[in-house]
Structure 1
Amino acid sequence: MPKKRPIAMVLAGALCLVTTACAGSSTETANNKASAPDAESGYPVTIENCGRTETFTKAPGRVVVMNGASVAEVSTLLALGLGDRIVANQQTYGMSEVPGRAKAIKALPTGDIELNDAYDIPREAMLGLRPDLVLSTTSYGFDEKNGFTTRDQLGDVKANSYVSPQGCDQDTSKMTVADSYTLLRDLGKIFNVSDRAEKLIADSEKSIAEVSAKTRGEKKPRVMVLFANMAMGGNDFSSVVAKGIYNDILAKAGGANAFASASRTSFADLSKEKVAATDVDALVVISYNAPDPTAYAEQLLKEFPQWPAAENNTYTVLSDSIYLGPSNDLAVDKVARMLHPDAF
């Protein structure tokens, strides 16, 4: 097995843009900028979020995006054409299914923050950024015992805060593509660009429906989904997906998770023997800043030649589209084409 790359926190769901040639739910507004609304007549806007009521009197203009081992929030802002509202972004990714997105994210300001041991923004640095909105993938990003600014403390300085769908209790095992649409809708309301959000959602729904129709009635191959070169537990395979949005994407693409019953949480921590004893028809490797996810996938197929996936060389590599975020339709399409090539 390739050397594993440890992470300092559990992946959130998580774990999701500058060209105008991309269509549907993955299109970015040119230059990642949205012109300010002609009027603020859409305010105040109230959002119920994790038991809190957040009221916005105007569109936020100083947005901070916390890390959270995700790109859902920053990608959604870019998809809505709101990149110019970000004063500090800590979400990064090495690749994307959307042309230009990784480059657009890399170009965003970081606030020149010295991150804490959790690779995120500590309390004093956060307050120094003078945000009017802070986005976090889960409530972990507002946990005082981890050195973060609480939502109450942000409220004291007139800053709103938002935790993404399914992130309130830090359990993303029930996350679905519908949660990506909720994130789009909520940010659309907050920034008074609901028309853009609804267009992205409608295009995504249409694309996914068309793909699902092509694979309906076909046998559902058993798919192993895991992160490349990542250690999240004590066994050889500790970053294997068991539940969450990944399974919804597999189902919409005409597949099923081979390890769905291996854990009650989003990820399973499996021995090499358990993996070897499971029939795997196809492999999906998720790259989270991995240097060579394709090589990792090919090495896995060599390591388990008894898999049908190895016999047929059936694998694909995905990145941000399989996370919570605005581009789940791209993941559905790519997985479906891998599992059911004759349908396309």
Structure 2
Amino acid sequence: MMKFIWLIIITVIINGCGLANKEGTVAAVKEKNTYYPICIKNYTSNREILNEIFYKKPERVIAHHQNIMEALMAIDEEETIVGGAFAGTDTREFSAQYKDKVKRLPEINGFNFDLETVLMYRPDLIIGWQSTFSSRVLRSTDFWHKRGVNTYIVPNSNSILPIGTVEDEYRFLHDIGSIFNRQKETAMLINEIKDEVAYVQEQTKGRKQQRVLIIEFMGRGITTYDKTRLCGDMVKKLGGQLIECGRNIDAETLITLNPDVIFVVNAKGLLANDVAIEKVYNNKAFKNIRAVKNKRVYPIPLIFMYASGTRTIDGIKTFRDGLYPEMKGW
């Protein structure tokens, strides 16, 4: 009789994961003294909602992108990583707090895995961006599900969500904690970010909003990040006013917008921060922009503000220090 009841419970999970809560996860279905199976609300390669069932804790994980590897190190699950890969947007410079844990990581690949190598690793979970599960990288989520391998796509990656928010990063961390049964660890990470945001909001209450522009130099063009992006939500939460303009602008438009503060996105590693802002300071045409005259042009690594995971706190602090220089180091 008990086996029959347990079979019914599993069937309910598979056919809909009907216990979904607001965090996008599902309460663990428990037999006595067990945690798994659990169900996580996630996505397919085609950006469709997927209820992913985990029958046990993952033991052989492929982690595609630096922030994913760092998230696993943050919850003491680095030894589950059997294969890791950097992306072109990663700094390739792990946070100093993981110095000892990095030594336990396997050899890290370049930008993309090849399919044959990943199959050789025999993973039971692959965590990546939506682009990870494409035909040019590791094939679709369906490809892996047919082989009994769980997948997880970071919510704020590749515009899966029409509007990216800090809450989506909370969700990512919460999901990782649920998948590995490390909720206490991820709750601490989430609370650290929440506390920092609340502190800045309290300290800057009533101040006049500063006009902010987040830009990235792409060849000869200038790309802007708007309110639909994670970084836009970060600036908004910290009291900045993100200037609304086109996705791609030219130098003349940048001059006309005349922002109080400019953040320049750096996708080439922390050591390239100075190079990023020099493109603004060294351009004589920009000398009368308010942010340039007041020396308020700041670099921000892409990994701090795009699918940022544990680096979300670094992104919040970077925007905080730019908006409120007097708070730097607080």
- Shorter-chain TM-score: which interval? 0.7 to 0.9
Q: AA paired with 1:336?
A: R
Q: CA deviation at 1:78?
A: 2.0
TM-score, normalization by structure 2: 0.76
Contact 1:94 1:102 in 2 (8 A): no
Q: Kindly provide the CA deviation profile for residues 90-129 of structure 1, in whole angstroms up to 9, marking residues without a partner as x.
A: 13533769434589669732466xx7xxx42233332222
What's the % identity of the aligned pairs?
Answer: 22
In 2: Cα distance, 1:170 partner to 1:341 partner? 31
- Secondary structure of 2:39's match? strand
Q: Residues 302 and 97 of structure 1: is their aligned pair in 2 closer, same or farther, counting only changes over 3 Å?
A: farther
1:163 to 127, 146, 153: 153
In 2: Cα distance, 1:104 partner to 1:255 partner? 36
1:296 to 273, 276, 294: 276
Q: CA deviation at 1:289?
A: 2.1
- Secondary structure of 1:250's match? helix
Q: AA paired with 1:271?
A: D
Partner of 1:49: 42
Contact 1:253 1:333 in 2 (8 A): no
Partner of 1:62: 60
1:245 to 190, 206, 230: 230
Gaps of 5+ in 1: 1-38, 263-267
Partner of 1:82: 77
Q: AA paired with 1:196?
A: E
Gaps of 5+ in 2: 1-31, 44-48
Structure with more of its chain in helix, by fraction: 2
Contact 2:79 2:104 in 1 (8 A): no
Q: Residues 241 and 48 of structure 1: is their aligned pair in 2 closer, same or farther, counting only changes over 3 Å?
A: same
In 2: Cα distance, 1:223 partner to 1:132 partner? 43
Q: AA paired with 2:151?
A: S
Q: Kindly provide the CA deviation profile for residues 127-170 of structure 1, in whole angstroms up to 9, marking residues without a partner as x.
A: 222111001222x32223x3532222212322100111144x74
Q: Kindly provide the CA deviation profile for residues 176-219 of structure 1, in whole angstroms up to 9, marking residues without a partner as x.
A: 11011000111111001111111211222112101111122212
In 2: Cα distance, 1:257 partner to 1:102 partner? 36
Which has the higher relative contact order, 1 or 2, with Cα contacts under 8 A spaced 6 or more apart?
Answer: 1
Q: Kindly provide the CA deviation profile for residues 261-310 of structure 1, in whole angstroms up to 9, marking residues without a partner as x.
A: 32xxxxx2222222222112112123222452213313303421111111
1:335 to 304, 316, 319: 319
- Tell me the number of residue pairs that the alignment of Structure 1 and Structure 2 aligns: 284
Contact 1:177 1:249 in 2 (8 A): yes
The two structures, once aligned, show a CA RMSD in angstroms of 2.8
Partner of 1:11: none
